[in-house]
Amino acid sequence: MPKSAQWVRKSTRSPLRDGLASAVLGAFEMLGGDPSSAVEAAQAFPTPAEWISYQRNQVAVAGVGATLVPLSGFVTVPADVAFLFHKMAHTTWGIGHLMDARVLGKADFFNALDAWTLPEDQLPVYRAVSERTAQSADALIAATEAEPLGQPLAELRQHNPLVTYNLLHAYASGQIADQDALASAVAAGLQAAEAPQDFDPTLDVGQFGEWSLGMARSFAMNTFARLSRSLGMRVAAHLAGSAATKAIAGIIPVAGAVINGGFNAVLLKEYGASAERYYAHAIAEPLPADLLG
């Protein structure tokens, strides 16, 4: 094998990236899923761009503070990255509100992170949901509460409304073949949410009618509402270069602080654009009132 190929293979994993991946996974698990404070704060901003700019300024100031004292960057970088991750979630939820989406906490953040790590011509399988779509879905579930599928849908919505709304949209658009297939998908979602240790993430895609394998796999992770190791590694890859530069910048007084704050701001700007892209492709149309009739 050529030396260059060996270097590429070895460079795909590093202690820094592995450490960041573990930190990202842990930070996601500890992150509060209530977006209400972000939604309330975002109401003061007319556009997503102004909201993102405000959040960028905050993380830039935090980055500067982390390296004002020479060598302090080696100690403060982990906390700085954790703060950046928290601000990314906050930014996501504010964007969603300003783009008329139903803001769905960690499930939205999960998918916005996925969009950030994907090529620009790709999007997460699961889509954000407009407020109008969510309201129509809520009314539909309430109207069918006494029907066999009504109660399971209501229970799944408690665990993960994003999955529930996407399932109903998939059924309305013909991606899920019939109500029996929809019922199977809902039952699998409840199993994944209530007893993840017993859930088979490979899934038998046939039970969901016309559902694609990619949709089924994404369904499994979204129902868990937690980051997979693979997504954690992709997020870590985005942060790894910046984190290394942050540590080096911490050696350089004053100038290093400016570099560090600048990296925070650039990262959040890039991430904010991906979160906007995620919400821009939200399911917008209301569900038919007789969908389950």
State the DSSP H helix or E strand holding residue 12, giving kind and residue range, or none if neither.
Answer: none
What's the pLDDT score for residue 57?
83
Would you say 212 and 177 are in contact if contact means Cβ atoms under 8 Å apart? Answer: no
Tokens in use for 101?
């989406």
Residues 144 and 274 reside in one and the same domain: no
Shared domain for 191 and 249, answered yes or no, is no
163 pLDDT higher than 80: yes
Domain interval for residue 159: 131-224
Could you tell me if 267 and 80 are in contact, meaning their C-beta atoms sit under 8 angstroms apart?
no
pLDDT tens for 111-153 read 899 898 888 888 887 899 999 999 999 999 999 988 889 999 9
- Residue 191: what pLDDT? 77
Q: Where among 224, 254, 288 does a domain terminate? A: 224
Cα separation, 108 vs 97, whole angstroms? 11
Asked if residue 281 lies in contact with residue 123, where contact means CB atoms within 8 angstroms, the answer is yes
Tell which of 203, 224, 245 closes a domain. Answer: 224
The domain total for the chain is 2
pLDDT of res. 80: 59
Residues whose CB is less than 8 angstroms from the CB of residue 163 and which lie 6 or more positions away in sequence, other chains included: 107, 126, 156, 189, 219, 222, 223
Question: In this predicted model, which residue has the larger pLDDT, 19 or 176?
Answer: 176
Q: Are residues 166 and 189 in the same domain?
A: yes
Partners of 130 in the β-ladder: 101
Cβ atoms 210, 177 nearer than 8 A: yes
| Residues 34-46 pLDDT 10s | 899 999 999 999 9
Cα–Cα–Cα angle for 210, 216, 217, rounded to 5 degrees: 150
Q: Is residue 92 part of a domain?
A: yes
212 inside domain: yes
Whole-number pLDDT of residue 230: 74
In a domain, 292, yes or no: no
Tokens found for residue 29: 């698990």
Q: Is residue 63 part of a domain?
A: yes
Beta carbons of 203 and 218 less than 8 angstroms apart:
no
What is the pLDDT at residue 245? 47
Q: Has residue 286 been placed in a domain?
A: no
Whether 9 has a pLDDT exceeding 50, the answer reads no
Cα end-to-end distance, the chain, whole Å: 62
Q: State the Cα–Cα distance between residues 253 and 27, nearest whole angstrom.
A: 29
d(CA 142, CA 28): 32
pTM: 0.78
Largest CA distance in the chain: 68
Residues 189-240 have pLDDT tens digits of 887 777 665 655 555 555 555 555 555 556 666 666 566 677 777 887 777 6
Q: Tell whether 218 and 232 lie within a shared domain.
A: no
pLDDT of residue 250: 43
- Name the pLDDT band for 102 (thresholds 50, 70, 90): very high
Query: Within this chain, do residues 111 and 248 fall inside the same structural domain, yes or no?
Result: yes
pLDDT at 47: 97
At 29, the pLDDT band (50, 70, 90 cuts) reads confident
Domain end call among 182, 203, 224: 224
CB 187 within 8 A of CB 154: no
- Predicted confidence (pLDDT) per residue in 36-91, tens digit: 999 999 999 999 999 999 988 887 655 444 444 443 443 444 555 667 778 899 99
Q: Which of residues 203 and 155 earns the better pLDDT score? A: 155
- pLDDT higher at 285 or 75: 285
